[in-house]
Structure 1
Amino acid sequence: MHHELIHKLKSKNAVIGILGLGYVGQPLMLRYTDIGFKVVGFDIDAEKVNELNSGHSQIEHIADSKILSAVEKGFEATADFSRIGECDALILCVPTPLSKHREPDMSYVIGTTDMLKPYLREGQVVSLESTTYPGTTEEVLLPRMEEGGLKVGESLFLVYSPEREDPGNPNFETRTIPKVVGGHTEACREVGIALYEPAIDEIVPVSSTKAAELTKLLENIHRAVNIGLVNEMKVVADRMGIDIFEVIDAAKTKPFGFTAYYPGPGLGGHCIPIDPFYLTWKAREYGLHTRFIELSGEVNRAMPEYVLNKLMDGLNDHGKSLRGSKILVLGIAYKKNVDDMRESPSVEIMELIQAKGAEVAYSDPHVPKFPKMREHSFNLSSIELTPENIASYDAVVLATDHDKFDFDAIYEHAQLIIDSRGKYRHVNGKVVKA
């Protein structure tokens, strides 16, 4: 059975189904469509489905022309999960957030699996790409997939292949980012390799789905821990009157043994603030405590409060209190030059400012209107950065350093700047480094 599916995938006669048409699913869909596969996209958001079918992506860095081209090549988006049976490969790209108790929220993975399982048939491969804890593929997907009598590894195939996306990074695209692939059985792994080999330049097979799941967590934990370290160093350097950015720039001239990480107002994005705690949660099942992960999380989660305190100190030095002040937050996407708001520390900073009795507004050229979010709500639109608007605020907080910002104009007209990104590191006076 698996040899037939491998042949179908290698000859590009397979139909690819992508479940979840967001920041991960859309680039994957475009890649498979570009190389000649028929692709069906599934999403429970009817508005998104309609927009994609009309050639609009809703994601800033994905041009409408690319979506329109994909539609012209045969791509269809649908909310009708009964069409699962049309697909030979099913790739799950759904969210895996944390609950309010900072435990894995598997509801999207479970819900999607439950929606597809009535339509599973012989000769299909299911690949989970959502970042999760080691064991998810075997413990959550496997039993559900076998409920109908199909046997994984014989008539149905199960793979874990973690997504690796960096929105807004022009140096990498779906094709050029190596793909880790782990299968539940050897036959599953062979099918998984055949699924991704036509679309990705380099495939990295690993021995199991658990190994692939832990690979993804290690990548993100490595980044979270090092950002936590440099954020702690920022606080220490500030207390000592040392410019942390100068120190990092000097340290990175060492040609071995050092990788530069930069401090900021906290962690954002769909991976780094969340994924490490999937391992922390799972490790407790084995009686283990992941102290590095928990400590770095503690440091990184404290950064929005650190920025708030710097704002209050700066206002105090100007004879003002935060209560009753007007504060403009510059940049609410989680990183520069994207419209991605997931887990953005800017939003927490806005909430902290508002809770202290200040009037808060924002400016972000990539986010014209504050979007609907699961846990945050502001009825705000982006403020245009005219000289008059900038000068009308008691302070501006630079949270995300988009290239589209005119930093000279901001400096000229702002009354006070709270700089969490080091853009004004060589400037004194009305700049407070945060």
Structure 2
Amino acid sequence: MAADLAVIGLGYVGLPLAQEASRAGLTVLGLDVAPDVVAALNDGRSHVDDLDDADVAAMLDAGFRATADAAELATADAIVICVPTPLSDEGGPDLTAVTAASRAIAAHLRPNTLVVLESTTYPGTTDEVVRPILEQGGLEAGQDFHLAFSPERIDPGNQTFGLRNTPKVVGGHTLACTAAAAAFYRRFVDTVVEARGTREAETAKLLENTYRHVNIALVNEMARFCHELDIDLWDVIRLAATKPFGFKAFYPGPGVGGHCIPIDPNYLSHNVRARLGYPFRFVELAQEINATMPDYVAQRIQNLLNQERKAVNGATVLLLGVTYKHDIADQRESPAVPVARRLMALGAQVVFHDPHVPAWDVDGTTLHRVADLDAALTGADIAVVLQAHSAYDGEMIAKKAPRVFDTRGITPASETVEHL
């Protein structure tokens, strides 16, 4: 059966893409190497935050089907690669999944097919890594098939901006490739922005996340000296944000997490060092600052306990919110893990509460999840707000807990509450 689109990788990026294309009337095939993911989707069960089972059922009704058989790629007019690119030991992206997907496509590539890479990577990947693999079968990019890069801009849990109303950047191997990719995405995305080429599109994604990475590091560093100088940084940010131009508010936190901010800027930094021989200093400094925040948070917790004449060794520390972002279940690169790791190394009895996480493991140790939040707040030596889930009532937390360290600014200031 012919497909308008085949999506390789049915995770946080690929599944929303498949959903939006299905909504627009495209016949969509999903390919994933995980048999359990394929089986669950074909049974109408979702495994990502932004889609529930009803969403998957609607996709199936629209003709969506998941498969683990790469041979079915031969039936698709367009193929989009949405596989993970985790950080490698060398500091760049691990392209194992990208090259595997490219080889699978190459084995079944037909003339006039559009192939798009959406996986985040370093500039040059589409042309230098993906293209040679795809051309091994004798077809030439820009002549026999279209090749492009379009950075994914999925923001898990965002209720305002989804795939359709977030502008889509596309850059092709040739002008004709760009035009073909733009025409394809315009079938289900409101605004498509054409880049000069694949490298510009690849670098745009890295700039977006580097911008956030650097500005988060800025306020995280300010949090440290503002605390020492007895300055309320949260009020400072509130005041600065009243300026209607030239300022965008960023807020401090216990570190950075997720699949983008802690990882993607390193791809650019690694690429600059590898190709040009000098450091991308902004990124490397931001990484240094943000990576040390969990230890700084643990130290602040220890200091607060000391003020109460309590040792961290044996103290009950209640962590509130262990996901990397509010109101989702995703724990990838969550700073809660290194915070808990450091506290446990100091001898603290670490327990947690998170309305989105039924079980939490830190370095092989399963931490106790408290069921009764009110009782846990009362019984803990200190409650630590690590994530601002909407289910959390800051005033209630401040009232019930004997001591609060709030890294997200959701609790009112008081004698028993200290903010990051």
- With the length of structure 2 as denominator, give the TM-score of the two structures: 0.95
> Aligned-residue CA RMSD in angstroms?
1.7
Distance in 2 of aligned mates of 1:44 and 1:150: 25
Distance in 2 of aligned mates of 1:345 and 1:36: 40
For residue 176 of structure 1, give the secondary structure of its aligned residue in structure 2. coil
Q: How far has the Cα of 1:32 moved from its partner?
A: 0.6
1:45 is matched with: 34
1:400 aligns with 2:387: yes
2:408 is matched with: 421
1:66 is matched with: 55
**Which of 357, 363, 385 is matched with 2:353 structurally?**
363
1:134 aligns with 2:123: yes
Distance in 2 of aligned mates of 1:370 and 1:157: 44
1:82 is matched with: 71
Distance in 1 of aligned mates of 2:90 and 2:351: 29
**Which of 120, 125, 137 is matched with 1:148 structurally?**
137
**Which of 337, 340, 345 is matched with 1:350 structurally?**
340
Q: 1:254-265, aligned counterparts within 5 Å?
A: 254-265=243-254
Q: How far has the Cα of 1:415 moved from its partner?
A: 2.7
1:19 aligns with 2:8: yes
1:227 is matched with: 216
TM-superposition CA deviations, 1:101-150 (whole Å, max 9, x none): 43322222122223332122222111111111100111110111011111
2:357 aligned partner, one-letter code:
V
Q: How far has the Cα of 1:377 moved from its partner?
A: 4.4
- Contact kept, 8 Å, 1:131 with 1:163, in 2: the verdict is yes
Distance in 1 of aligned mates of 2:89 and 2:48: 27
- Contact kept, 8 Å, 2:120 with 2:152, in 1: the verdict is yes
- Contact kept, 8 Å, 1:131 with 1:275, in 2: the verdict is yes
Q: How far has the Cα of 1:381 moved from its partner?
A: 6.1
For residue 147 of structure 1, give the secondary structure of its aligned residue in structure 2. helix
Distance in 1 of aligned mates of 2:265 and 2:40: 34
2:105 aligned partner, one-letter code:
L
- Contact kept, 8 Å, 1:89 with 1:126, in 2: the verdict is yes
Distance in 1 of aligned mates of 2:244 and 2:152: 30
1:6 is matched with: none
**Which of 327, 335, 351 is matched with 2:317 structurally?**
327
- Contact kept, 8 Å, 2:319 with 2:352, in 1: the verdict is yes
- Contact kept, 8 Å, 1:131 with 1:216, in 2: the verdict is yes
Distance in 2 of aligned mates of 1:227 and 1:355: 27
For residue 91 of structure 1, give the secondary structure of its aligned residue in structure 2. strand
For residue 330 of structure 2, give the secondary structure of its aligned residue in structure 1. coil
Q: How far has the Cα of 1:169 moved from its partner?
A: 1.4
1:432 aligns with 2:414: no
Distance in 2 of aligned mates of 1:313 and 1:148: 63
Taking every aligned residue pair, what percent have the same amino acid on both sides?
A: 42
1:193 is matched with: 182
Q: How far has the Cα of 1:268 moved from its partner?
A: 1.2
2:377 is matched with: 390
- Contact kept, 8 Å, 2:403 with 2:417, in 1: the verdict is yes
- Contact kept, 8 Å, 2:217 with 2:290, in 1: the verdict is yes
1:269 aligns with 2:258: yes
- Contact kept, 8 Å, 1:161 with 1:180, in 2: the verdict is yes
For residue 379 of structure 1, give the secondary structure of its aligned residue in structure 2. strand
Q: Cα distance 1:312–1:100, how it changes in 2: closer, same or farther (>3 A)? A: farther
**Which of 279, 293, 299 is matched with 2:289 structurally?**
299
Q: How far has the Cα of 1:316 moved from its partner?
A: 1.1
Distance in 2 of aligned mates of 1:48 and 1:14: 20
- Contact kept, 8 Å, 1:60 with 1:366, in 2: the verdict is no
2:396 is matched with: 409
Unaligned runs of 5+ in 2: none
Unaligned runs of 5+ in 1: 1-12
Distance in 2 of aligned mates of 1:28 and 1:344: 25
Point out 4+ residue stretches in structure 1 off by more than 4 angstroms. 375-378
- With the length of structure 1 as denominator, give the TM-score of the two structures: 0.92
1:290 is matched with: 280
Aligned length: 418
